[in-house]
Amino acid sequence: MKHILTLTLLFLSITILSACGDNGVRFELIGDTEVNYHINNAYSEEGFISRDETLDISEFVTMEGNINPTVSGDYLVTYTLEYKDQTRELQRIIHYRESGCSVILGTNITECQVYWSEYLHTYINLRVYYENDDYHDQVNNIFQNVENIISKYHKLSDKYDTYQYVTNVKTINDDPTTTHVIDQELFDLISFTLDHQEEVNNRFNLALGPVLEIWHNYREACNTDLTGLNCPIPLLSDLQTADQYTNPEDISLNEENLTITMLDNMSIDLGGVSKGYISGKVVEYLDALNLLGYLFNNGESNISIGGSHPTRENEKYLLAITDPTFSTAYYATVYIGDGDQLVTSGDYQQFFISEGITYHHIINPSTLMPEHHSRSVSIITSDAGLADLYSTAIYTMTIPEGISFVNSIDGLEAIWYSLDYVIYYSENFEDLYLVEQFN
């Protein structure tokens, strides 16, 4: 990842560049002296003012500029006034970039961004920055490559839908005792999850699918019931019955043949790890490029940073952490930089209410219940795949347990929003990341 060069930034605060003299001749550009256009959009000249007192002298002005609206580039339009034995010159810079891209005015840096809403049941945004002409007319290919990664893992990890020619989580869960041949990517994702469950004290269980399905069905039934907020919750006996089929040791993987087999009534669920793992794959791809920087927002709760912020002196990105009570938009801001992952888990997105109690979607494998220790926890670490797993598991812990867990792992920090509106931090969070706390 390229480091940002020292730049002297010139921010143009005026819209007219003046070339007036003492002899009453007025020669000025109308509009901005630096303008962004997207490729294939025709250039529209904003014009100029050229007068000698009240006399229009535009006939003495010539314009030159070789603009190709089909190719990314920085084009110069020159306006020359030759009048009364004097020559004056004005210039306007025209930046042509791909759709979704524009130059940060006053710099040599291009910013490009794209949005997706059809994957992972969330909204995804990617913003990339490059210098000079490093990636002219290549950004849409970069975005397509990232979308291909997201799309592939979306289909593989989907537990709700099947896809033609794809063996995914739903395919496996629908027929768990069959030996399924799966793609290398899904095999690696399942293996990664199983290999790291002990690192989070088994607060995440890939095989918890039968229990999670019961909670999902109750949540969906409640959220489609318009009669009120007094919905039933699952019977503990039903959850315990389902829990008989959640032993991850009953998942058989064959690395040589890329196969998976489970016992009857079992199902897997990658919901607490897949977004982070997918973010890690996107990060691997982006880090292999020579970009100045990027921000990958995988559904608001999962943010990855690479490289340098394009204009901030400390080269870091200023991010806000959502207020889970929604009394304000956010309750804290943080600076995070190259290689950092900010991941949040909380009770405020997927939930239902029964007798005044909020039942969210993050289930403790030990109690089979959603825990009520905090409203949210946000963690910062450098491993995108582990970040999601950490965040999910830490949220099921009490705040003291979570702080102790986080403080025991190098490079991991966290911030909690408690049930009584108090903010708690891990040992080094304030010093390393916190900019401001608002509640």
Give Cα separations from 275 to 115, 153, 257, 343, 383 (angstroms).
16, 9, 26, 10, 12
pTM over the 0.85 mark: yes
- Within-domain flag for 244: no
Instruction: Tell me which DSSP letter residue 260 carries.
Output: E
Q: How far apart are CA 337 and CA 433, in angstroms?
A: 9
- The amino acid that residue 349 corresponds to is Q
In a domain, 62, yes or no: yes
Output the tens digit of pLDDT for each of the chain's 439 residues: 443 332 222 323 233 334 445 478 999 999 999 999 999 999 999 999 999 999 999 999 999 999 999 999 999 999 999 999 999 999 999 999 999 999 999 999 999 999 999 999 999 999 999 999 999 999 999 999 999 999 999 999 999 999 999 999 999 999 999 999 999 999 999 999 999 999 999 999 999 999 999 999 999 998 776 555 678 999 999 999 999 999 999 999 999 999 999 999 999 999 999 999 999 999 999 999 999 999 999 988 899 999 999 999 999 999 999 999 999 999 999 999 999 999 999 999 889 988 888 999 999 999 999 999 999 999 999 999 899 999 999 999 999 999 999 999 999 999 999 999 999 999 999 999 999 999 7
* C-alpha distances out from residue 314 to 28, 310, 318, 337, 340, Å: 37, 10, 10, 9, 15
Is 29 a member of any domain?
yes
- H helices of 244-383, in order, are 274-287
Cα separations in angstroms, 160 against 10, 15, 57, 149, 174: 52, 54, 70, 19, 10
The domain spanning residue 89 has which CATH number? 2.60.40.10
Going from the C-alpha of 189 to that of each of 56, 142, 158, 273, the distances in angstroms are: 71, 23, 13, 9
Q: Is residue 127 part of a domain?
A: no
Tell me the three state secondary structure of residue 241. helix
**266, 208 Cβ separation under 8 angstroms:** no
Q: How many folded domains does the chain comprise?
A: 1
Helix axes 274-287, 384-395, angle to 10 degrees: 160
Q: Are 274 and 189 in contact (CB under 8 A)?
A: yes
Let me know if residue 46 belongs to a domain.
yes
Question: Per the domain annotation, does 41 fall within a domain?
Answer: yes
206 neighbors 248 (Cβ within 8 angstroms) = yes
Is residue 231 in some structural domain? no
Contact 296, 289 (CB under 8 A): no
Range of the domain at 56: 25-97
The three-state secondary structure class of 376 is strand
Does residue 74 form part of some domain?
Answer: yes
> How far apart are the C-alpha atoms of 405 and 301, rounded to whole Å?
21
Q: What are phi and psi of 76, to 5 degrees?
A: -110, 125
- Please give the helix or strand (H or E) that residue 88 lies within, else none: strand 86-97
Helix (H, G, I), strand (E, B) or coil at 67: coil
Percent helix, strand and coil across the chain, each rounded to 5? 25, 30, 45
